[in-house]
Amino acid sequence: MSRRRHSRTCTAILERELHQLGYRFIAGVDEVGRGAWAGPVVAAAVILNLDQIPEGIDDSKRLSPRRREELFSAIGNTARALSIGIVDAWEIDRTNILRATERAMTQAIEGLRVRPDFLLIDAVELLDVEVPQRALIRGDQLSVSIAAASIIAKVTRDRLMREYDRLYPGYGFAHHVGYGTRAHREALMRLGPCPIHRRSFRGVLLK
């Protein structure tokens, strides 16, 4: 496969090159929540139908919340398969965030109802997954399949954090979704950590 320069537009070039090489079911894999102080890390795996790719798929960070929700539905309605993996704060603290990320990605891949024959993964190499794969730095900006996975993971995690906001009021989880904002730090100073905080993360346990 040829090397591609970073583009402002997500394309299916990599997927089509792989398809020409004989791979039929190419899964994009991405995660959301690695840097947050609270909540799970969420990964998604998506096998797009290359003949029916929803218009406008891009890195989830580039999209508005409304557009992410629209694309979440469009991807769910057209993809050949998609799956989600979730690893909670307790497991992140027990191992570390990289191991937790790998586990969430592996869960997502194993949950696909169609077995992928190639993986395009954002930045992470999954050595324990016996499927041909390619790890791409900034993959969610280079591969439409990884970008689709980033949207599924982001919308899923944001919805979970809104639920946690109702369970643990006062922290502002619905707004900062667990990341280390000033408002989050002030809430920690007032209330201390709650059960979904990652106590191994610097900034959570205030001195």
Q: Where are the domains of the chain?
A: 13-159
User: If you average pLDDT over every residue of the chain, what do you get?
Assistant: 94
Alpha carbons 14 and 133: distance in angstroms, whole number? 12
Q: What is the pLDDT of residue 207?
A: 47
Q: According to the model, what pLDDT value does residue 20 have?
A: 96
Q: From CA 167, how far away is CA 178, in angstroms rounded?
A: 14
| CA end-to-end distance (rounded Å), the chain | 51
At 9, is the pLDDT very low, low, confident or very high (cuts 50, 70, 90)? low
User: Percent of the chain at pLDDT above 70?
Assistant: 95
Let me know: does 98 contact 84? Beta carbons within 8 Å. no
As a whole number, mean pLDDT of residues 83-106 equals 98
For residue 7, pLDDT beyond 60 = no
Quick one: pLDDT at residue 129?
96
Please report, rounded to a whole number, the percentage of residues in the chain having pLDDT higher than 90: 92
Give the confidence band of 187 by pLDDT, cuts at 50, 70, 90: very high
Give me 33's structure tokens: 């929540």
Q: What is the pLDDT of residue 120?
A: 98
In terms of pTM, does the model score above 0.85? yes
Integer Cα distance of 143 and 58 in angstroms: 9
| 37 within 8 A of 184, measured Cβ to Cβ | yes
Helix (H) or strand (E) holding 27: strand 26-32
Q: Read off the pLDDT of each residue in 142-154 and give the average, rounded to a whole number.
A: 97
Reading the block at residue 201, the tokens are 């993360």
| pLDDT surpassing 50 at residue 6 | no
DSSP summary character for residue 84 = E
Residue 205 confidence (pLDDT): 82
CATH tag, 13-159: 3.30.420.10
List, for residues 53-71, the tens digit of each pLDDT value: 999 999 999 999 999 999 9
Compute how many other C-beta atoms are within 10 angstroms of the C-beta atom of residue 168. 17
Q: What is the pLDDT of residues 25-49, one digit of tens each?
A: 999 999 999 999 999 999 999 999 9
